[in-house]
Amino acid sequence: METKLNVKLLRSTSDPEDLIAAAARLCYSKSDIDELFEKMTHEKSVDLLKRLVEMGHESPTEHAVFTFAIEGVSRALTHQLVRHRIASYSQQSQRYVKGSDFKYIIPPSIKNNKEAKEKFEKIMENLAKEYDEFNKIAPNEDSRFILPNAAETKIIVTMNARSLKNFFTRRCCNRAQWEIKQLADEMLKLCRKAAPELFGKIGPNCYSLGYCTEGKMSCGKGAEMKEKYKNLK
Ligand SMILES: Cc1cc2nc3c(=O)[nH]c(=O)nc-3n(C[C@H](O)[C@H](O)[C@H](O)COP(=O)(O)OP(=O)(O)OC[C@H]3O[C@@H](n4cnc5c(N)ncnc54)[C@H](O)[C@@H]3O)c2cc1C
């Protein structure tokens, strides 16, 4: 059965911009810890945050963390996601959860091609049947070897704001694979709702730096991308 992407921001650090600014103040002022939030307005925090980014002093942004629940994504996607090492993950197990009647993701290029879609769905149905048969004679942990990359999975991921910035820079880029790009866009929208000042200027390099870093591999759609990420919410 086909399924769709579903992403939720489960928890995040409250007042993340103020916390990051407090961490920065500790670095640059004589304030005792009881004084870190004194005389600080949110506007001053945002101003300090901007200066940190300009200076390249990004470690204070590591104090703000965001936890997402993600489902309706393929194993092909999570294989890419977990390459982001500065994060914590909990993923549905194919050892403990049987793959019978597994849901699957259909890539747009297949969905938009009637013949390819029919064949793909047939293959998935057959694999589900084969899995059930095979699972009668082999344990889950080995039966899962015949499940496809398209099989749906669920994962909880926690990243700090610095790591998220790195993630969005790479995965919102048009060079990223369509499914993880779609996920990154949804996660960025949620981050912008939770912390607009922290994430408002974050996106692919063409948007956040103002120029593309992909050289010959550039998608050549800088203007379109800048407009998209300026308005993404
Ligand atoms: C378009 C695209 C195509 C890709 N294609 C491939 C591919 O063909 N094959 C493939 O294997 N991967 C591929 N990747 C994955 C990519 O190489 C990274 O593994 C992935 O994007 C995670 O990025 P990261 O290491 O910056 O993130 P994280 O692991 O979260 O690391 C964050 C940052 O911490 C620092 N860091 C972390 N660990 C170390 C370390 N051990 N040593 C030094 N610094 C460290 C680095 O500055 C790093 O940028 C691709 C990624 C993209 C976006």
| Locus of tokens 């300009």 | 54
Report whether pLDDT(112) > 90: yes
The ligand 1 atom nearest the CA atom of 175? 1
pLDDT for res 37: 87
Question: Active site includes 171?
Answer: yes
Q: Mean pLDDT across the stretch 172-186?
A: 98
> Which residue has the least CA distance to atom 7 on ligand 1?
80
Catalytic residue among 75, 171, 175, 192: 171
- 5's CB contacts (< 8 A; 6+ apart) are 70, 71, 72, 73, 179, 182, 183, 186
3-state secondary structure of 83: coil
Residue that wins the pLDDT comparison between 112 and 31: 112
pLDDT for res 1: 85
Report whether pLDDT(3) > 90: no
pLDDT digit string, tens, across residues 66-110: 999 999 999 999 999 999 999 999 999 999 999 999 999 999 999
Q: How far is the CA of 83 from the centre of ligand 1 (A)?
A: 6
Report whether pLDDT(227) > 90: yes
Q: Which of 11-20, 33-42, 112-121, 141-150 has the lowest mean pLDDT?
A: 33-42
Half-sphere exposure in the Cβ direction for 206 (13 Å, CA): 21
| pLDDT over 70 percentage in the chain | 100
The ligand 1 atom nearest the CA atom of 177? 1
Entry pTM: 0.96
- 93's CB contacts (< 8 A; 6+ apart) are none
Report whether pLDDT(19) > 90: yes
pLDDT digit string, tens, across residues 205-221: 999 999 999 999 999 99
H or E element in which residue 55 lies: helix 42-55
84 lines ligand 1 (CB under 6 A): yes
The ligand 1 atom nearest the CA atom of 85? 29
| pLDDT over 90 percentage in the chain | 91
Average pLDDT, the chain: 96
Q: Mean pLDDT across the stretch 114-119?
A: 98
- Distance, CA of 110 to CA of 108 (rounded, Å): 5
Report whether pLDDT(35) > 90: no
> Which residue has the least CA distance to atom 4 on ligand 1?
176
85 lines ligand 1 (CB under 6 A): yes
